[in-house]
A and B are shown apart, each in its own frame.
Chain A
Amino acid sequence: MLSIRNLHVSANNKPILKGVTLSVTSGEVHAIMGPNGSGKSTLAGALAGRPGYDVTEGEASFDGRNLLEMDPEERAREGLFMAFQYPVEIPGVNNAYFLKAALNAARKHRGEEELDAMEFMALVRDKAKLLQMDATMLNRAVNEGFSGGEKKRNEIFQMAVLEPRLAILDETDSGLDIDALKIVASGVNSMRSPDRAIVIVTHYQRLLNYIVPDVVHVLVDGRIVRSGGKELALELEDKGYGTADVEPAVAR
Chain B
Amino acid sequence: MARVASRSEQYVTEFERFARTQGGSTPSWLGVLRQGAIESFGNTGFPTTRDEEWRFTSVAPITETTFARAQNGFDRAAAALSRHDIAYVGLDRVSAAELVFVNGRLAPSLSRTEGLTGSVLVRDLQSMLSSRPGALEPFLSRAIEYQDQAFAALNTAFLADGAVVWMPANAVLETPIHLVFISSPEASPTVSHPRVLIVAEENSQARVVETYAGPRGQVYFTNGVTDIFVGPAAMLDHYKIQQESAASFHVARIQARLRRGSQFTSHSLSFGGALVRNDVAAVMEDEGADCTLNGLYLADGHRLVDNHTTIDHARAHCTSHEIYKGILADRARAVFNGKIVVRADAQKTDAKQTNKALLLSDDALINSKPQLEIFANDVKCTHGAAVGQLDDDAIFYLRARGIALDEARAMLIHAFASDILNRVRIDPLRAQLEEELTEGLRLKA
Contacts and interface: CB of A to CB of B under 8 A. Distances in A.
Q: Do A and B bind each other?
A: yes
Contact of A50 (B396, B401, B402): B396
A101 B418 CA distance: 18
B443 interface: no
A101 B403 CA distance: 7
Interface of A: 48-51, 71-73, 75-77, 82, 84, 87-88, 90-93, 98-99, 101-103, 105-106, 109, 141-142, 158, 162
Contacts of B393: 88
A92 B437 CA distance: 15
23 contacts: A50-B396, A50-B400, A73-B402, A73-B405, A75-B400, A76-B400, A84-B397, A87-B397, A88-B393, A91-B415, A92-B414, A92-B415, A92-B418, A92-B419, A93-B411, A93-B412, A93-B414, A93-B415, A98-B401, A98-B411, A105-B403, A162-B401, A162-B402
A73 B409 CA distance: 13
Interface in B365-407: 391-394, 396-405, 407
Per CB-CB distance, the 7 closest pairs between chain A and chain B, nearest first, are A92-B415, A76-B402, A102-B401, A72-B399, A105-B402, A88-B397, A92-B418
Interface of B: 391-394, 396-405, 407-408, 411-412, 414-416, 418-419
A162 B416 CA distance: 26
A49 B418 CA distance: 29
Contacts of A109: 402
B221 to A, nearest CB: 35
Given A50-B400, A71-B399, 20 more contacts: A50-B396, A73-B403, A76-B401, A76-B402, A88-B391, A88-B393, A90-B415, A91-B415, A92-B415, A92-B418, A93-B414, A93-B415, A98-B398, A101-B403, A101-B407, A102-B402, A103-B402, A105-B402, A106-B402, A109-B402
B208 to A, nearest CB: 28
Given A87-B397, A93-B411, A105 B404 contact: yes
A81 to B, nearest CB: 8
Mostly, the B contact residues are helix
Given A73-B405, A92-B418, A162-B402, A51 B412 contact: no
Contact of A71 (B405, B414, B415, B418): B405
Contacts of A142: 397
Contacts of A82: 400
Nearest to B413: A92
Contacts of A87: 397
A217 to B, nearest CB: 23
Nearest to A105: B402
A109 B401 CA distance: 13
A82 B415 CA distance: 24
Nearest to B393: A88
Contacts of A93: 398, 411-412, 414-415
Given A51-B392, A98-B411, A90 B397 contact: yes
A82 B411 CA distance: 21
A72 B396 contact: yes
A72 B411 contact: no
Contact of A88 (B394, B402, B405): B394
Contact of A72 (B391, B400, B412): B400
A141 B419 CA distance: 12
B403 A102 contact: yes
B392 to A, nearest CB: 7
B402 A90 contact: no
A209 B163 CA distance: 74
Contact of B402 (A51, A77, A84, A141): A77
Nearest to B416: A92
A84 B414 CA distance: 24
Nearest to B422: A92
A51 B396 contact: yes
B184 to A, nearest CB: 38
B391 A73 contact: no
Nearest to A101: B403
Contact of A76 (B391, B394, B399): B399
Contacts of A71: 399, 405
Contacts of B416: 92
A87 B415 CA distance: 18
A252 to B, nearest CB: 30
Nearest to B408: A73
Most buried by A among B391, B392, B400, B405: B400
Most buried by B among A88, A106, A109, A158: A88
